[in-house]
């Protein structure tokens, strides 16, 4: 089974051209699934996998309190793997054909107000090199609505300053152009002139934009820690992650009257229904609209 998994991962990399992060997630999910089949169910022949085995595995994931999102991703990995095996005629029947994806409740994302965004950006100490870099990181995350992995992967060649745009490589290696605001451009300019050269001399960084003090490309965890650090200097009590800035970017654009399709394009969403979660509005605003326009008021 390990050889088939290896062949499948090669298929994802070469024929599907999926991003390294996506491939890593598939591989992690499927290794855990195959280990369950062998260790818990004694299955070494893929033709002996039935729907009941997959259902049991999903129940186990639920029992260990894995998030619904993680369970859905695991199920998606399993379904894709079995579809590949069936398409290659490695298995005689596909056990996932009649299985439904576990339903995930739609939760509204945590969003910061424009004032809270300003509060976080204002506490960054730009008298120090790391502060200059951190402010550029925060500005790009909020100005462009980037995923943290997209930010970490940014290369020098992705900055199109003449067009005031950023070339972003998203999920599935799909590229999109994201506008850069004047504040983000100023922060990047200061970082490039006064900080990045000294960081870049210390290590090979493959042309990445954002570097650590040692010259290594920033990781997702490092970006998360940067945000936690500066939020700790404010009175904001919300649970804030890099994705919170992306949520806030989308929400603020839509509340300001931006077109949903334009926001979808900037976020890099394949399906507009994913973008629609950001169309939630403040309850008081809804009440005000109701009071203003309903004939019974």
Q: Known catalytic residues?
A: 147, 171, 243, 246, 269, 278
Q: Rounded distance, CA 200 to CA 198, Å?
A: 6
DSSP 112-163: --HHHHHHHHHTS-TTSHHHHHHHHHHHHHHHHT--HHHHHH-BGGGEEGGG
Distances (CA, A) of 271 to 2, 10, 33, 90, 276: 33, 26, 28, 32, 9
Q: Rounded distance, CA 113 to CA 295, Å?
A: 32
Q: Rounded distance, CA 47 to CA 147, Å?
A: 39
Note whether 124 and 131 are within 8 A (CB): yes
Half-sphere exposure of 244 (CA within 13 A, CB side): 19
Site of tokens 């998203």: 170
């Amino acid at each position: 089974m390990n050889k088939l998994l290896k062949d499948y991962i090669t298929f994802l990399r070469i024929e599907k051209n999926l991003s390294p992060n996506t491939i890593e997630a598939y591989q992690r999910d499927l290794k855990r699934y195959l280990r369950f089949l062998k260790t818990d169910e004694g299955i070494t022949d893929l033709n002996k996998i039935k729907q009941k085995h997959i259902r049991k595995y999903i129940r186990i994931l639920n029992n260990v309190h894995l998030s619904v999102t993680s369970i859905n991703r695991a199920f998606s990995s399993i379904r894709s793997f079995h579809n590949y095996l069936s398409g290659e005629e490695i298995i005689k029947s596909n056990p996932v054909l009649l299985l439904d994806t576990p339903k995930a409740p739609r939760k509204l994302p945590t969003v910061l107000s424009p004032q809270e965004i300003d509060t976080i950006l204002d506490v960054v100490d730009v008298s120090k090199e790391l502060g200059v870099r951190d402010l550029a990181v925060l500005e790009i995350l909020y100005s462009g609505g980037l995923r943290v992995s997209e930010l970490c992967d940014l290369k020098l060649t992705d900055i199109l300053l003449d067009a005031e745009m950023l070339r972003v490589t998203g999920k599935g290696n799909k590229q999109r152009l994201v506008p850069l605001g004047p504040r983000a451009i100023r922060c990047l300019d200061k970082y490039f002139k006064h900080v990045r050269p000294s960081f870049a001399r210390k290590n090979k960084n493959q042309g990445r934009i954002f570097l650590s003090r040692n010259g290594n490309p920033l990781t997702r965890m490092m970006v998360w820690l940067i945000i936690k650090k500066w939020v700790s200097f404010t009175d904001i009590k919300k649970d804030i992650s890099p994705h919170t800035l992306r949520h806030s970017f989308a929400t603020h654009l839509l509340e300001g009257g931006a077109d949903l399709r334009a926001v979808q394009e900037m976020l890099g969403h394949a399906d507009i229904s994913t973008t629609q979660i950001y169309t939630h509005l403040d309850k008081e605003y809804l009440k005000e609209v109701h009071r203003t326009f309903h004939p019974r008021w």
